[in-house]
Amino acid sequence: MDQQKKIIWQTPWEYREGFSVALGIALTALLLQLLLGNVDPSQFRFPVNVIFGAVFLAGVALAFFIFRRKAFIRWLSSVYSTVPAIAVLLGVIIVMGLTPQLPDGTMEVAFPENVFTKMGWYRMTTSWVFLFLCFYLLMLIEFALLKRITTKQSWRNIGFYLNHTGLLLALLGGILGSADIQRLTMTVKEGNVEWRALDRTGGLRELPVAIELDTFTIEEYPPKLVVIDTHSGKMLPEKQPENYVYGGVGEKTALNGNHIEILEYLPQAGMVQDSNFVNFVPYFTEGATTALKIRVTNPNLKAPVEGWVSNGSFIFPYQVLYVDSVSGIAMPVNEVKKYTSKVTVFTEDGRAEKADIEVNKPLSIENWVIYQLSYDETKGKYSDISVFELVRDPWLKIVYAGIILLMAGALFLFIAGPKKRVYV
């Protein structure tokens, strides 16, 4: 059979029309962007986002059922519209990966004066182009779902429903919900109670919960040793610095050509110094540092070099052991293994709850989730304050429902594999 070349826009629509529509939507959005600037999420707070979402979903469904037999609805629920829509969004996301993204709340004046700023590319997720393309995709997903629901069912559809409903929920919930997310930071001093927190713009907010910081503790990893270039202070070898993690007195190790033997270890040390002599002694008060006494040999040295290395604290300076005129052994700041805030949380109805909050172990209470954020880094393990982040995201359940469906859909893809296609 002779295939005739189809002219663009002639039905049935295929990929060419798909790209035209997707690019047309992107261009329209770009015009709006130039006219109006980035979308302000605060305009979409509850209940606007709920109404908007409901109208969107219902509108698409209505269009589907009214125009179901029309060719363009069939096209909108086919891969001919889907593939170009995904491709154009992918293009936008690649641009986003290549341009630095500035956080919300960055002042307009901080943006560079160039065409990217006008196009909203430094805050892609609130740009019209990004949002229009996302909603176009959401519409296509809904059309595809409705089409599948109204045609013959087979067991393979399970995977289709899981994946597409999952993405619909996660994406819609994520976009609409972002306007309702509140993230506040709260700083509490040991022994004090705090119920006020700062929002992103620095405004003070009172919360329905109060946090008392009972104690704050930091657990550190054992100290490390590195070889440094004593002029530049850079760790050696420059490309991929080597380090040794302390494992016990008497251990021997090789570091960038030096042989190092550990002679003494003081986890709680104080420095004593006169005009030409530095020594470290046990010191059990706040501000104690960590010190290792080591012996260093290397083929270029006539005699071994022996002495203390320490990483200092907010009262003691650090101590480097010079090996020769260009290199020395230094101890970087101990890495933090975990930090824990023991707190008592009070709610408005008079309940009190004790809890340990750590990184990765937030506390959920009264619709808020309390995260360990940071502490007084100048004091390190002697910090007497703890900084928390309080997050409220009322749409989280919807997003998580979507994520769970998507995960189930992925398992289905994994097990069922692709359809065996019959080839002509």
CB of 424 to ligand HEM, least distance (A): 18
Residue 129 to residue 85: CA distance in whole angstroms: 12
CB of 419 to another protein, least distance (A): 8
Q: Which does 69 bind (CB under 5 to 8 A by kind): another protein, ligand HEM, none?
A: none
250: left (phi over 0), alpha (psi -120 to 50) or beta: left
Angle among Cα 346, 350, 354 to the nearest 5 degrees reads 35
Indicate the helix (H) or strand (E) that contains 180.
none
For another protein, the closer of residues 224 and 342 by Cβ is: 224
For another protein, the closer of residues 97 and 203 by Cβ is: 97
Residues that bind another protein (CB under 8 A): 79, 82-83, 86-87, 89-90, 93-94, 96-97, 101, 124-125, 174, 181, 183, 221, 224, 240, 242-245, 335-339, 358-362, 369, 371, 389, 391, 393, 396, 399, 403, 406-407, 409-411, 413-414, 417-418, 420-424
Q: How many helices (H) and strands (E) does the chain have?
A: 8, 18
CB of 98 to ligand HEM, least distance (A): 22
Residue partners of 90: CB distance under 8 A and separation at least 6: none
Q: Where does this chain touch ligand HEM (CB under 6 A) — which range of 39-47, 63-71, 135-143, 196-204?
A: 135-143
> Do residues 194 and 210 lie in contact, with contact meaning Cβ atoms separated by under 8 Å?
yes
**392 φ, ψ (degrees, to nearest 5):** -125, 120
For another protein, the closer of residues 316 and 412 by Cβ is: 412
For another protein, the closer of residues 366 and 389 by Cβ is: 389
Residue 56 to residue 140: CA distance in whole angstroms: 12
Q: Which does 301 bind (CB under 5 to 8 A by kind): another protein, ligand HEM, none?
A: none
Residues near ligand HEM (CB under 6 A), total = 17
Asked if 77 is part of the footprint of ligand HEM (rule: CB under 6 A), the reply reads yes
Residue 193 to residue 8: CA distance in whole angstroms: 69
Q: Which does 61 bind (CB under 5 to 8 A by kind): another protein, ligand HEM, none?
A: none
Binding mask 395-414 for ligand HEM (x = CB under 6 A): --------------x---x-
For another protein, the closer of residues 203 and 417 by Cβ is: 417
The residue from 86, 102, 193, 396 that contacts ligand HEM (CB under 6 A) is: 86
CB of 88 to ligand HEM, least distance (A): 12
For ligand HEM, the closer of residues 140 and 309 by Cβ is: 140
CB of 23 to ligand HEM, least distance (A): 16
> Do residues 209 and 220 lie in contact, with contact meaning Cβ atoms separated by under 8 Å?
no
Residue 333 to residue 325: CA distance in whole angstroms: 23
Residue ranges that bind ligand HEM, judged by CB under 6 A: 77-79, 82, 86, 137, 140-141, 144, 156, 160, 163-164, 167, 409, 413, 419
